[in-house]
């Protein structure tokens, strides 16, 4: 498996928990990974994953993609399209 660092991103959001305002700071590191995946988990595991869903790039939007991931996916698409 080959992997190279691509970029990092951060996202801040606010939410309310037990009538108290909270702030959350997400940090993400993105890598380009060359990997042949034949057994991607597509269902929830009851712990921290809801599984994966394949969505065509043409259908990606902020309504179906994490706000921390969406701009990076679009950046990767842009880089690939220029090759």
Nearest one of 76, 52, 75, 79 to 64, comparing CA atoms: 52
Expressed as residue numbers, the domain containing 39 is: 2-81
Whole-number pLDDT of residue 48: 65
pTM (predicted TM-score): 0.65
Per-residue model confidence as pLDDT tens digits over 56-65: 889 999 998 8
Number of domains in the chain: 1
Question: What does the mean pLDDT of the chain come to?
Answer: 86
């Amino acid at each position: 498996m080959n992997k190279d660092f691509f970029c990092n991103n951060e996202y801040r959001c606010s939410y309310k928990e037990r009538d108290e305002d909270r702030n959350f700071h997400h940090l993400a590191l993105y890598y380009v990974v060359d990997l042949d995946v034949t057994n991607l988990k597509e269902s929830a595991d009851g712990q921290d994953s809801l599984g994966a869903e394949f969505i065509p790039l043409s259908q990606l939007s902020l309504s179906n993609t994490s706000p921390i991931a969406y701009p990076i996916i679009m950046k990767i698409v842009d880089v690939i399209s220029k090759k």
